[in-house]
Amino acid sequence: MSRLGRHGVGSSPACQESSVAREASSSNGFVKDFFRVVNNGHLGTSQKMTKPADSRLVLLGNPGVGKSALVVRFITKRFIWEYDPTLECTYRHTTMVDDENVSMEILDTAGKGESIHQEGNINWGEGFLLVYSTTDRESFEDIVNLHQHIASVKKTQNFSCVLVGNKNDLTHERKVGQEEAEQLAVDLSCCFFECSACDGGEAVDESFKELHRDVVRRRMVNSMRRRRSSAQQVKQVLNKMFTKINS
């Protein structure tokens, strides 16, 4: 994983053979810089990537639901308590999905941004983690509007997304039941994962990996449709030519 934004996290010890040094300096209670890549592929904003990522994933959701914590947990297998909610970071991460080495670009958005800026993030993304907190009812109820906004920008309801309920370790503060979240996932035609960035666990990893799988599946289907459409167009042109020749 390489850091593409101004601040970022280093390569995961579980997924990369690089050493990572933690640099946690606080300003107004927030961690300004999480991890620094020491030995592996740090990319500055002016450097170009030699190969496009296999998928571009975007985390969307209300401020405070734990988007940054989920990214850090997925990439580094660690948890940091405090983040600057105004920072927006893009990370490149390499990991194994179904015994295949894949690269992901992951955009951690800064809560509710300006509409034009958010539309740019949506146009950039191929798949979306719609994140809410199990302790915040409003963040859950806003997921439907967020899904509709993505559909409006993408001009289709057919896009890759997963629903992620974070902070399920805070059982005494739960405001959103698992069953109603599962029903929302059915309504949105997407997978649902409930997890805790604090505790970690398989659900955190699977939410990112399943979204990656869906992005790749949809890309393959769309590619096949385009090839089929092109073949049909060629066939129609040839039929017209033969009809003229025979007439």
User: pLDDT tens string for the chain (247 positions)?
Assistant: 554 543 333 333 333 333 333 333 333 343 444 443 322 333 333 344 458 899 999 999 999 999 999 999 999 999 988 877 778 899 999 999 999 999 999 999 986 656 677 899 999 999 999 999 999 999 999 999 999 999 999 999 999 999 999 999 999 999 999 999 999 999 999 999 999 999 999 999 999 999 999 999 999 998 776 665 555 665 565 566 656 666 6
Token code pair at residue 49: 């990537």
The burial class, CB within 10 Å (0-12 / 13-18 / 19+), for 65 is buried
Per-residue model confidence (pLDDT) at position 244: 65
Contact 151, 179 (CB under 8 A): no
Per-residue model confidence (pLDDT) at position 176: 98
Contact 60, 145 (CB under 8 A): no
Per-residue model confidence (pLDDT) at position 149: 96
Per-residue model confidence (pLDDT) at position 227: 60
Per-residue model confidence (pLDDT) at position 145: 96
CB within 8 Å of 170: residues ≥ 6 apart: 134, 135
Which pTM was predicted?
0.74
Fold of 42-246: Rossmann fold (3.40.50)
Token code pair at residue 119: 């539309």
Per-residue model confidence (pLDDT) at position 13: 30
Query: Which pairing describes strands 55-60 and 127-133: parallel, antiparallel, or unpaired?
Result: parallel
Per-residue model confidence (pLDDT) at position 45: 37
Token code pair at residue 105: 């670009």
The answer for 52, left when phi > 0, alpha when psi is -120 to 50, beta otherwise, is beta
Q: Is the dihedral of CA 40, 45, 48, 53 positive or negative?
A: positive
Q: Is the dihedral of CA 100, 76, 111, 199 positive or negative?
A: positive
From residue 150, alpha-carbon distances to 88, 184, 220 in Å are: 18, 16, 21
